[in-house]
Amino acid sequence: MRFDLVDLRLFIAVADAHSITGGADRAHLALASASARIKGLEDSFGVPLFKRGRRGVALTTAGESLLDHARIIMHNVETMQGEMVRFASGLRANVELLANTVGLAEHLPRALAAFLRDHPDISVDVEERESTDIAAAIAAGSADLGFAAEHALPDNVERFVFGEDRLTLVAGRRGPFAGRRQIDFVETAGQDFVGLTQATALQVHIGKHAARLGIRQHFRARLRDFDAICQMVAAGVGIAVVPEAAARRCARTMPISVMTLRDGWANRRLVICARSFKALPRPAKLLVDHLRKAAG
């Protein structure tokens, strides 16, 4: 079985373009060379990888399986190249971590700070994504490590629980929900809201469930910080949905009421996830070991 990274890169390009001609253009290869390489791949594996048609090509079942493996291989190669370039330049090893809004704002900073203090030769890049996007990236092999709500993960993604995330409703102490300790989200219909910016993963999650309940949220203000949101709520601007940890912290210094949301979607288990923890690069494994110890 003989093939190289050029073959795999071309195979991915053809699959994405649904065309050998389009794939050849993306891979910067002549059409004749690209066709010969694709045929060589199929001969090497002994199975057809594409179904040819007048309008282009489509992956066979074997092709779909190879595409999954090819993306993982190319991702690992790019990660390897990036790390070697950083070492050659005297820079540090790097770990890329995808995290949802709550993880990024409430759960990860302290644990990451301790890890970076203990490992001065490793840097961590954290990118905010919605949990469903994190799950897709991990499952497809385009990302190594994620911090997400467990309900969004497919069965083939490994995970361990880092903590619980309960979403709560916060309101002014003189507002319509004063004195309440629990509430159903549907009761908030018609109220003014203070929320996160629309691009924020958590706001997307809340918005989806509001839409399912037929609630059209009217936002008086959108911010990127839970403390700032709670300050707006304390000033009587509107009500808000925020993580319990942030709500309890802000309630110690602000005149706000914190109510438990009885809706099932408001209770989430937060997990660290990877396609395979054993297959992670060494810097990522060190971070995983640290987060396991910090979990809970």
Q: What is the pLDDT of residues 160-184, one digit of tens each?
A: 999 888 899 999 988 788 888 999 9
Give residue 88's pLDDT: 62
Q: Token pair of 268, please?
A: 């989430």
State the architecture of 5-70 in CATH terms.
Orthogonal Bundle (1.10)
Give residue 92's pLDDT: 67
Q: Token pair of 156, please?
A: 């083939």
Q: Would the CATH topology of 86-163+269-294 be identical to that of 164-267?
A: yes
116 and 124 in contact (C-beta within 8 Å)? Answer: yes
Regions in the chain scoring below 70 on pLDDT? 1, 86-92, 199, 296
Q: Is 53 exposed, middle or buried (0-12, 13-18, 19+ CB in 10 A)?
A: exposed
- Which CATH fold topology does 164-267 show? D-Maltodextrin-Binding Protein; domain 2 (3.40.190)
pTM over 0.95: no
Q: Token pair of 102, please?
A: 């709550």
Nearest to 52 by CA among 69, 68, 66, 38: 38
Question: For the chain, which residues make up each domain, given as ranges?
Answer: 5-70, 86-163+269-294, 164-267
Give residue 87's pLDDT: 64
Separation between Cα atoms, residue 28 and residue 22, nearest integer Å? 10
User: pLDDT per residue over 124-137, tens digit each?
Assistant: 989 988 888 899 89
Give residue 198's pLDDT: 75
Q: In this structure, which CATH number among 3.40.50.880, 3.40.50.10470, 3.40.50.1820, 3.40.190.10 belongs to the domain 86-163+269-294? A: 3.40.190.10
169 and 261 in contact (C-beta within 8 Å)? Answer: yes
Separation between Cα atoms, residue 40 and residue 37, nearest integer Å? 5
C-alpha dihedral, 119 to 114 to 197 to 148, nearest 10°: 80
Q: Which residue has the tokens 């918005």?
A: 207
